[in-house]
A and B are shown apart, each in its own frame.
Chain A
């Protein structure tokens, strides 16, 4: 594999913007794509603010911050990509959207490695409509990518070994830890961790959605050493994101009851109580918290 010098990141949401920042800080020429200029503007502002905060905390130098920003460019059209070695897609978790993007990437990114940041969809399925599925791989970052140290690297069924090796090396250059997971629904984390929230919701539902029990479950699980209780965690992740991931894993396993979503999740999403981002989830949040 040729050396990876430049990385394209597709999608300027929380994940895309975070991955782009991680790539730029690691010294890669980084090109962030989003069809929405406003989303790109927000992503740049957030990145700038985060870097300033790191400088003020002496985590990085002012020169590091300036260097990072200088490595970061934005485009609103895929045709503006030039000399991309690795494209990391962080578009919405929708197979059709991702497949369409990958078909276009083949056109605009030539021989680049095509990576997907999918958390629950099959990497092999995303690669299903490209002419060379051997260069497609999963690189699953965790939220927020700038802080979480893990990247799951998921070779699809047809991914070439050298593409896997290159992806593992890039993760290392980004200062993160990679784990290689088989292309199975939810990979490692989104599958194995599912009962943490799934059982908590189940216990809550069995007991009349008791407010006191909800708080006690969070308290007990924090006592057991978890950084956050399951309900606090769902509020942080976003009920909509969590519910969508749960549904995808459940459907991917052909409705194995182990992964069944909870009616409580659905009710929360449908009533707009999405967690911290909407100001209200299992808990209420003021603007400051």
Chain B
């Protein structure tokens, strides 16, 4: 069995327009590569793969033509499509799993794992409506064979952990914006008052503000509810490519 992990450096080399700051995705890619026996360059060996993992779920399959060169796409067309399971990480743009390339759409499995990666981290997998259970089982055995604890959950934007953490972070942004307290105080209060492993704002930085925004936008778009509106401060920070610390420093400027 051959597994291929799309890795960010490779993506960046292939695509060029890749701008996300996804240190943890590179870390996840490394964790996967360490546990895999056969890995390889996707462009060169993608047609031999049994499992293809998209670490950068935020890009999504809708943009598939953007991040694979035409040559790579040919591999898919020529290969036996039944051999693939596509694992779409983090699932922010969850709808993209449904609107993807028709030859691949029955092969897509959602998965999610968020940092910090520890021995107790659980990997969530989810099955979109058009994907048969057999593909889910393939993905489950694959991840289990790598030593992950795998739990199947209902499909949806962010699945469970990332959805809850994104909503916590989004609420923290609204409290920060309203001056309830500064970022460090909010994080301290949440850690000491509730025993959370990380404060919501430092967690958001670790996951990436772009990813938090993507999950909130995914939820808002799927449910059409105000409940999930991303806070304007989060949107502005992503647009300005600023960290929370940079924002607070900016605010202190005379």
With contacts A192-B168, A224-B197, A260-B227 taken as known, whether A203 is within 8 angstroms of B160 at the C-beta atoms is yes
Chain B contact residues (Cβ within 8 angstroms of A): what range? Answer: 35 or more
For residue A32, CB closer than 8 A to chain B, the reply is no
Q: Which residue of A lies closest to B120 (CB)?
A: A223
Contacts between chains A and B (CB distance < 8 A), count: 132
> What chain A residues lie within 8 Å of B197 (beta carbons)?
224-226
Q: Closest CB-CB distance, B13 to chain A, in whole Å? A: 32
| Complex: A150 Cα to B186 Cα, angstroms | 12
A219 adjacent to chain B (CB < 8 Å): yes
- Closest chain-A Cβ to B91's Cβ sits at a distance in Å of 13
Which A residues are CB-close (under 8 A) to B172? 192
Q: Chain A residues with Cβ under 8 A from B254's Cβ? A: none
**Contact between B192 and A150, CB atoms less than 8 A apart:** yes
List, in ascending order, chain A residues with CB within 8 A of B179's CB: 182
User: What's the Cα separation between A221 and B153 when bound, in Å?
Assistant: 13
How far is B199's CA from A193's CA once the two chains are assembled, in angstroms? 10
Which residues from chain B sit less than 8 Å from chain A, CB to CB?
114, 116, 118, 120-122, 124, 149, 151, 153-154, 156, 160-161, 163-165, 167-168, 170-172, 175, 178-181, 185-186, 188-190, 192-198, 200, 225-227
A39 at the interface (CB under 8 A from B): no
- Among A193, A220, A221, the residue within 8 A (CB) of B193 is A193
Interface readout for A147-190 with B: 1 if CB under 8 Å, 0 if not?
01110100000000000000000000000010111101001110
CA–CA, A207 and B186, complex, Å: 32
Chain A positions within 8 Å of B, measured between CB atoms, are 142, 148-150, 152, 177, 179-182, 184, 187-189, 191-196, 198-200, 203, 206-207, 213, 216-217, 219-228, 230, 256-258, 260
Q: Which 9 A-B pairs have the closest CB atoms?
A: A225-B197, A223-B122, A195-B167, A150-B192, A189-B193, A188-B189, A257-B227, A227-B195, A150-B193
Q: Which of B172, B180, B196, B227 has the most CB of A within 10 A?
A: B180
Q: Which residues from chain B contact A182 at a C-beta distance below 8 Å?
A: 178-181
Given A203-B156, A258-B227, CB of A180 within 8 Å of CB of B120: no
A220 lies within 8 A of B190 (CB): no
Contact A193 B161 (CB under 8 A): no
| A181/B161 in contact, CB under 8 A | no
**Across-interface contacts of B165 in A (CB, < 8 A):** 224
Q: Tell me the complex Cα distance, A217–B194, Å.
A: 18
Could you say which of B118, B153, B189, B190 contacts A216, with CB atoms under 8 Å apart?
A: B153
Instruction: Please give the distance in Å from A119's CB to the nearest CB on chain B.
Output: 10
**What chain B residues lie within 8 Å of A195 (beta carbons)?**
164, 167-168, 170-171
Question: Do A225 and B178 touch (CB < 8 A)?
Answer: no
CB pair B181–A188 under 8 Å, yes or no, is yes
Q: List 20 A-B contacts (CB under 8 A).
A: A150-B189, A150-B193, A182-B178, A192-B168, A192-B200, A193-B190, A193-B194, A195-B168, A203-B154, A203-B163, A206-B154, A213-B153, A216-B151, A220-B151, A221-B160, A221-B164, A224-B197, A225-B118, A225-B197, A257-B227
Cα A224 to Cα B171 with chains together (Å): 19
Closest B residue to A208 by beta carbon equals B154
Give chain A nearest CB distance to B158 CB in angstroms.
Answer: 9
A189-B194 in contact (CB<8A): yes
